[in-house]
């Protein structure tokens, strides 16, 4: 928020925020990863999507992706060429106001002077304790041979130096020279087939957002290679506000209908969504109201169907949202994918992603009876994602912006919070804190253990196989804007499950 106070805009705030999160939450994101940003330019009344998703190396061998997870000495095969630095540099070049050096300085100072270990990062360290303790480049996380505890001060001087170089020299400092050589050496030591040319040639891609009008709201969301936008639009196009409202928020009937909707969307993700350069299906045709109406007719309120059983031919990341005084909005998601990515730490103090693990696995392909999934391992491709930065306008003004972290759970979580707000009027902090459900690709319904017993019983009568022991929901961040009486009241919220915070100045 200090960036906005110094005259920066929403893009400046997003850049500084993404970098700071990468320093303080390397379990989830960082400059060794990538992501997507949805930028609303208030002056031009235009939404733009920037895709800085990681890219598969030119030397990719599909055989490397049969065994999941890969052996420890082959983790590098899952590393995609990182895109975050290119992404924030592109954002700054197009919309930034403050000097790039100044935006990077805050994160560099955070790494240099230290930050208190959060509960979320402490959990990540515990999940990967064996690896952390055996990684010399992460020694600041295990002083005296044991893991640091929540609240302990953490310093990462190597990352501070890396960030200062990027701040002074721009994105070329990352994709050429010493830092690029460090990325390459670290990835190849883990078995990667990446080349220096792969790193140097990385490009950010501008894409047209998926957009629709629903119940008086204009929605902008992510296009492929993200599947998140498709899943959200399918849910909106399948149902009216009146139909959902009549079921009642949090009732068994509502949850069952939502779960069936999401299962159908997951089937479409697996069958059709991948790198746009090789896709054969227009996602807007998949989410077309007529197709969704036909699918809705197949959904029974008294029985359920696993994602793999849905007919498709009807006729675990960090997220932030920033709005500024001019009404510009940025909704951006950054990730290294699994906890600490590929668990490969560079000399420069940052972890490399394992984003290529998002190419469809043989296990999922067999489940859905697919010979060649849309998101199959391919040189130069960007794997399918669930990241769902989303913006909602009403009367041409931003009223809701959100997104989240958590793998495939991002799209399901973002959809649930969007419906909670737009249909049932739940305040953003309430909607994010409410119990949620997940519909895993393998089938079943994972639900928060705090759900009322009568709802569980209702769901089971409808054929749902309810499990309250496995739920690991996405962490959603969002904000709403209320223009009542000619003013502007902003309400920001972050998911308490991940220890996030929302702030308004």
Helices (H) and strands (E) in the chain — how many of each? Answer: 19, 16
Q: Look at the chain and count its residues.
A: 505
Helix (H) or strand (E) holding 486: none
3-state secondary structure of 287: coil
CB-hemisphere CA count at 13 Å for 358? 33
Q: Which two tokens stand for residue 55?
A: 């890219």
331 belongs to an annotated ligand binding site: no
Phi, psi (rounded to 5 degrees) for 486: 80, 0
Q: Which two tokens stand for residue 435?
A: 């119990």
407 belongs to an annotated ligand binding site: yes
358 belongs to an annotated ligand binding site: yes
Contact 393, 214 (CB under 8 A): no
Report how far residue 449's alpha carbon sits from residue 447's, in angstroms, rounded to the nearest whole number: 6
Report how far residue 338's alpha carbon sits from residue 335's, in angstroms, rounded to the nearest whole number: 8
Beta-bridged to residue 493, according to DSSP, are 478
Beta-bridged to residue 481, according to DSSP, are 490
Mark whether 390 is an active-site residue: no
> Distance of CA 210 to CAs 232, 233, 464, Å?
10, 8, 31
39 belongs to an annotated ligand binding site: no
335 belongs to an annotated ligand binding site: yes
3-state secondary structure of 50: strand
Residue with tokens 């330019």: 41
Residue tagged active-site, from 48, 221, 317, 439: 317
Helix, strand, coil percent values for the chain (each to nearest 5): 45, 15, 40
Looking at 176-275, list the stretches that DSSP marks H as alpha helix, in order from N- to C-terminal side: 177-189, 196-200, 228-238, 241-247, 252-272
Query: In this structure, what DSSP letter does residue 385 have?
Result: B
Q: Please give the angle made by the CA atoms of 331, 334 and 338, to the nearest 5 degrees.
A: 140
337 belongs to an annotated ligand binding site: yes
Report how far residue 24's alpha carbon sits from residue 154's, in angstroms, rounded to the nearest whole number: 9
Helix (H) or strand (E) holding 116: strand 115-116
> Distance of CA 497 to CAs 368, 439, 475, Å?
32, 19, 7
Phi, psi (rounded to 5 degrees) for 186: -65, -45
- Which residues are marked as active site? 317
Q: Annotated binding site for L-glutamate, which residues?
A: 53, 335-337, 358, 385-386, 407
Q: Annotated binding site, which residues?
A: 53, 335-337, 358, 385-386, 407
């Amino acid at each position: 928020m200090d960036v906005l106070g110094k005259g920066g805009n929403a893009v400046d705030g997003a850049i500084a925020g993404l970098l700071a999160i990468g320093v303080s939450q390397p379990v989830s994101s960082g400059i060794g990863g990538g992501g997507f940003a949805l930028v609303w330019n208030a002056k031009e009344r235009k939404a733009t999507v920037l895709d800085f998703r990681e890219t598969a190396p030119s030397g990719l061998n599909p055989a490397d992706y049969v065994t999941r997870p890969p052996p420890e000495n082959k983790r590098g095969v899952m590393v995609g060429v990182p895109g975050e630095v290119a992404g924030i540099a592109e954002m700054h070049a197009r919309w930034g106001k403050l000097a790039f050096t100044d935006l990077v300085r805050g994160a560099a100072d955070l790494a240099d002077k230290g930050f208190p270990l959060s509960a979320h990062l402490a959990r990540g360290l515990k999940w990967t304790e064996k690896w952390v303790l055996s990684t010399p480049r992460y020694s600041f996380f295990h002083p005296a041979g044991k893991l640091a505890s929540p609240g302990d001060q953490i310093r990462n001087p190597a990352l501070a130096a890396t960030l200062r170089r990027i701040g002074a020299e721009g994105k070329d400092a990352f994709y050429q020279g010493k830092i690029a050589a460090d990325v390459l050496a670290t990835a190849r030591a883990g078995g990667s087939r990446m080349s220096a040319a792969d790193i140097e040639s990385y490009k950010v891609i501008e894409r047209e957002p998926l957009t629709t009008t629903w119940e008086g709201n204009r929605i902008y969301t992510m296009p492929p290679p993200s599947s998140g936008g498709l899943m959200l639009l399918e849910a909106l196009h399948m149902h009216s506000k009146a139909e959902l409202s009549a079921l009642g928020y949090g009732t068994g009937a509502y949850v069952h209908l939502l779960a069936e909707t999401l299962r159908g969307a997951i089937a479409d993700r697996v069958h059709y969504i991948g790198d746009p350069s090789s896709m054969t299906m227009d996602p807007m045709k998949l989410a077309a109201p007529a197709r969704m109406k036909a699918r809705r007719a197949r959904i029974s309120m008294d029985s359920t169907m696993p994602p793999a059983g849905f007919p498709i031919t009807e006729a675990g990341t960090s997220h932030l949202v920033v709005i500024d005084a001019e009404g510009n909005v940025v909704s951006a998601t950054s990730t290294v994918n699994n906890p600490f990515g590929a668990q490969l730490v560079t000399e420069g103090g940052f972890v490399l992603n394992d984003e290529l693990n998002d190419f469809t696995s043989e296990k999922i392909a067999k489940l859905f009876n697919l010979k060649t999934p849309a998101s199959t391992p391919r040189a130069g491709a960007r794997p399918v994602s669930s990241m769902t930065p989303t913006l909602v306008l009403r009367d041409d003004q931003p009223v809701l912006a959100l997104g989240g972290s958590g793998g495939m759970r991002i799209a399901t979580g973002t959809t649930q919070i969007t419906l909670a707000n737009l249909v049932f009027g739940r305040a953003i902090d309430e909607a994010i804190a409410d119990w949620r459900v997940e519909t895993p690709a393998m089938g079943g319904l994972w639900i928060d253990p705090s759900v009322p017993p009568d709802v569980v019983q209702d769901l089971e009568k409808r054929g749902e196989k309810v499990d309250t022991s496995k739920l690991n929901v996405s962490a959603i961040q969002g904000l709403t804007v209320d223009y009542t009486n000619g003013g502007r009241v902003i309400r920001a919220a972050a998911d308490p499950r991940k220890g996030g915070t929302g702030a308004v100045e």
